[in-house]
């Protein structure tokens, strides 16, 4: 992505961020005190300030890292570092901060963006010089999707809907082999957990062409799969006991036996052909156990996505894999030190993208990662044959 494309993309990302915040504000969620303090949410007002602060930190203040003293000069916003540095402001503390008003943070967002655009116009076009701009863009795009998770969780209407697409039927057999896993900075922007690119061997495997659908998963529900402990891991059984879940998070069953699904606050009839979404890793694993299948390893998923096989369709939802989130051999942290390293071994890897992921962020090599119980994200799964 060159400087001119970056300039357009940065403006687009900021418009999107502000539009989502405005929608949340219109629903009464413009102040932290108006929201429940849930571990899966950030107050939208804090998130708005954090996105602008992060871009200012790495671009305008030329930070070489994320520790105090790594950036040049003060923030454009009084007390900006004390309010919006996610490394020093704990999650629960974000509800009790004396945050600026929405109008003041809107002004801060505009001032930071205009200063970034002015600097970008005079920045060399090489990858090293453009890295902080690309980092700020990717960071804001991910927070935009997180704001949409928040809107789904709170039941707020969103400026987009879950798209309806015909499912990809059948499965695809791959003979496996060696391939280059991961990416390098020279190919554009990548996060540190995708590097270094290394040769990886994949054994032959057979994988679903598309995602498990609502119709597929409904069979598991009707087979009393949530009440059969043999399909669930020990951690999954503990999660069931804690949540009381007996169907995916946003499914609702009517007295007549029909099901619907809540989309951004609206109950819609369950689309049999749509991929099942808002399922935890535990639910995906239990379905696989019931169906006599397994989740793909992340290297299998990447091999399939990069193989050029037209029948392999991805990008509707993030996809749970069987792989814990671990560093590639030779990993070293980038300037955004806390992006990956603190979470290795405590998260599960997801691959692909969702309908809410901007096209510029989509890559078959991108590694997303969440804790296994998360079912608020736009995630589904596909399966592999065993053996």
Q: CB-based contacts of 124: which residues, under 8 Å, 6+ apart? A: none
250 and 315 part of one domain? yes
Do 141 and 196 reside in the same domain of the chain? no
377 lies in some domain:
yes
10-residue block means of pLDDT along the chain (387 residues)?
A: 93 97 96 92 97 98 90 95 96 96 97 98 92 97 97 93 81 96 77 94 98 97 98 98 97 92 95 96 98 98 95 96 97 95 97 96 96 98 95
- Has residue 316 been placed in a domain? yes
Q: Could you say which of 94, 125, 154 is where a domain stops?
A: 154
| Domain extent at residue 219 | 171-385
**103: in domain:** yes
Predicted local confidence at residue 132, as pLDDT: 96
Domain co-membership, 86 together with 22: yes
Question: In whole angstroms, what is the distance from residue 361 CA to residue 354 CA?
Answer: 10
Residues 214 and 356 in one domain: yes
Tell me the CA distances in angstroms from 14 to 33, 61, 191, 379, one per residue in order.
25, 19, 21, 24
**In this structure, what CATH number is given to the domain that contains residue 201?**
3.90.1580.10
Number of domains in the chain: 2
The pLDDT assigned to 167 comes to 81
Q: For 7-25, what is each residue's pLDDT tens digit? A: 999 999 999 999 999 999 9
How far from 136 is each of 112, 142, 300, CA to CA, in Å?
12, 10, 30
pLDDT tens for 69-84 read 899 999 999 999 999 9
pLDDT at position 189 is 87
In a domain, 250, yes or no: yes
Does residue 132 sit in the same domain as residue 179?
Answer: no
In a domain, 166, yes or no: no
Residue 149 and residue 203 in one domain: no
In a domain, 140, yes or no: yes
């Amino acid at each position: 992505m060159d400087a001119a494309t970056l300039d357009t993309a940065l403006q687009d990302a900021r418009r999107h961020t502000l539009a989502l915040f405005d929608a949340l504000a219109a629903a009464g969620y413009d102040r932290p005190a108006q929201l429940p303090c849930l571990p899966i949410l950030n107050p939208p007002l804090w998130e708005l300030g954090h996105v602008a602060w992060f871009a200012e930190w790495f671009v305008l203040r030329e930070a070489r890292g994320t520790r105090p003293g790594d950036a040049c000069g003060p923030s454009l916003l009084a007390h900006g570092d004390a309010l919006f540095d996610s490394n020093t402001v704990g999650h629960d503390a974000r509800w009790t901060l004396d945050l600026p008003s929405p109008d003041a943070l809107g002004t801060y967002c505009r001032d930071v963006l205009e200063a970034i655009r002015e600097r970008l116009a005079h920045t060399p076009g090489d990858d090293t010089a453009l890295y902080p701009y690309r980092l700020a863009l990717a960071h804001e795009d991910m927070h935009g999707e997180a704001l949409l998770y928040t809107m789904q969780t709170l039941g707020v209407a969103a400026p987009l809907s879950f798209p309806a697409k015909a499912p990809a039927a059948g499965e695809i057999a791959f003979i496996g082999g060696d391939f280059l896993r991961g990416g390098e900075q020279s190919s554009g922007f990548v996060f540190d957990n995708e590097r270094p690119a290394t040769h990886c061997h994949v054994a032959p495997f057979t994988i679903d062409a598309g995602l498990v659908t609502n119709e597929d998963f409904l069979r598991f529900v009707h087979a009393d799969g949530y009440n059969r402990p043999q399909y669930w891991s020990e951690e999954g059984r503990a999660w069931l006991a804690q949540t009381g879940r007996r169907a995916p998070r946003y499914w609702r069953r009517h007295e007549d036996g029909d099901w619907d699904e809540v989309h951004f606050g609206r109950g819609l009839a369950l689309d049999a052909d749509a991929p099942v979404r808002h399922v935890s890793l535990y639910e995906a694993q239990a379905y696989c156990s019931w169906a006599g299948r397994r989740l793909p390893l992340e290297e299998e998923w990447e091999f399939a996505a990069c193989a050029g096989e037209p029948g392999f369709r991805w990008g509707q939802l993030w996809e749970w894999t069987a792989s814990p989130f671990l560093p590639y051999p030779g990993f070293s942290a980038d300037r955004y030190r806390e992006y990956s390293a603190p979470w290795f071994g405590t998260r599960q890897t997801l691959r692909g993208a969702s309908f809410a992921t901007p096209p510029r962020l989509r890559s078959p090599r991108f590694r997303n990662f969440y804790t296994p119980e998360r079912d608020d994200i736009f995630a589904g799964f596909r399966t592999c044959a065993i053996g």
